[in-house]
Amino acid sequence: MNGRPISGASVDARRGRGRRGGPLALLLTTALFAVTACGGGGGSDSDDDKPGSGAGRQKNNEPSAAVVAIAPKDGAKSVATSGALKITADKGRLTDVKVSDADGNTIDGKIVKDGSAWKPAHHLAASTKYKVHATAKDSEGRESAKDTSFTTLTPQNTFVGHFTPEDGSKVGVGMPFSVNFTRGITKPEDVEKAIEITSKPEVEIRHKWYGNDRIDFRPEEYWKPGTKVTARLNLDGVEGRPGVYGKQSKSVSFTIGRSQVSTVDAKSKKMKVERDGKVIKTIPITAGAPGTTTYNGKMVITEKLKVTRMNGETVGFGGEYDIKDVPHAMRLSTSGTFIHGNYWAAPSTFGAQNVSHGCVGLRDVRGGGDKKTPSAWFYEKSMIGDVVVVKNSKDKQVQWFNGLNAWNLDWDKWEK
């Protein structure tokens, strides 16, 4: 060794040859080049197109193409209760829609088959704030949602429906459900949709308007005993006539009691009382006199009065009679037909002569205090909704709307 330092290059070369040798280094370099060349190529083998790749995640994170549109606009006030609420989806399908008021009550509705729109099942309530949440998905399954709120109008003019029978009552098999409105209705279809009548056991129920302020509902035949009937009046927000809105939302239920149908034969002057299809009593009666005959037809008891005043002037008979204490009176028609106790005629009249002004009379005593009289017995055995049929009278058939006498109109004339 001559003592001169060895150059750095010579040292590095020696170290390289001593550790890995020339052929190994060349092989590694060639392999590295091959990997680099493969990874730099294009086409479908790129990792960017495989599940979980950066490009796939980027595509899934793109905004949904679906656009949800809601009318009325967010924050709108004095919104119409019908026709104003519209929810649609563009470039996608609606998947979920919820419309609810401040109490959490939801509005029923349905998404149309192609998912392009949602339609409410009925009108909205008046003076109510609603919240809307709607979600749609585009063709890639990405969701888009929108939330809005609005408040419906406060009507200046309103109407309600007075109904019979009363909620929770038990009535006879002939009782229809009848609603009288405080304002004349000029949009009957909208009001009809807001009244739902159901029964258990289920039976078809149809309706009929009388004028523009009354609607009655009934099945084809008398109700079956034990039937429970429910009427839902969803009138709040219904525009019954221009600028006049319903303000009533109520559910009414009543039950049908035993069957009692009594048949008055004006010719034989007798009445057969049938309970659940069996005759339980035959009672002598007096019907309308030749000049003031009793209506024929099926009549329903709508009112029971232990004592009442009957004045001929109120039903077009002038001053022919004014009896201040008629006992056991039960109304059969609006025009003044009753079946009632009669204490002023001789006992021999009943079953023998027709002497009334159109009512059906039963023997009674003044004040109605004798429970053994035919009139007292019949009064105690009868309930609102029982049927009294009059036949063989020389008069016309009572009109279906004269009282709650729906059974005198053919079934095919009642609307579904």
Positions marked active-site: 340, 359
Measure the CA–CA gap between 164 and 331, rounded to whole angstroms.
14
Question: What Cα–Cα distance (Å) separates residue 228 from each residue in 202, 256, 274?
Answer: 9, 6, 22
User: How do beta strands 143-152 and 249-256 pair?
Assistant: unpaired
Measure the CA–CA gap between 286 and 340, rounded to whole angstroms.
10
Percent of the chain as helix, strand, coil, to the nearest 5 = 15, 40, 45
Are residues 126 and 247 in contact, defined by beta-carbon separation less than 8 angstroms? Answer: yes
Q: Which residue has the tokens 């040292």?
A: 11
Alpha helices in 159-288 (DSSP H): 188-193
* 365, two tokens: 């005593």
Question: What Cα–Cα distance (Å) separates residue 264 from each residue in 268, 277, 297, 348, 399?
Answer: 9, 16, 10, 18, 18
Question: What Cα–Cα distance (Å) separates residue 42 from each residue in 39, 48, 68?
Answer: 8, 10, 39
Q: Which residues are within 8 A (CB) of 155 and not within 5 positions of it... i.e. 6 or more apart?
A: 126, 127, 243, 244, 245, 247
Are residues 239 and 187 in contact, defined by beta-carbon separation less than 8 angstroms? Answer: yes
Q: Which residues are within 8 A (CB) of 403 and not within 5 positions of it... i.e. 6 or more apart?
A: 299, 300, 302, 331, 332, 333, 334, 335, 337
Alpha helices in 161-256 (DSSP H): 188-193
* 323, two tokens: 């009896």
Which DSSP helix (H) or strand (E) runs through 375? helix 374-381
Question: What Cα–Cα distance (Å) separates residue 91 from each residue in 56, 65, 70, 82, 142?
Answer: 21, 6, 15, 27, 11
User: CA angle, 263 as apex, 258 and 269 as ends, to 5°?
Assistant: 145
Measure the CA–CA gap between 38 and 188, rounded to whole angstroms.
78
If phi > 0 it is left, if psi is from -120 to 50 it is alpha, else beta; for residue 3 that is: left
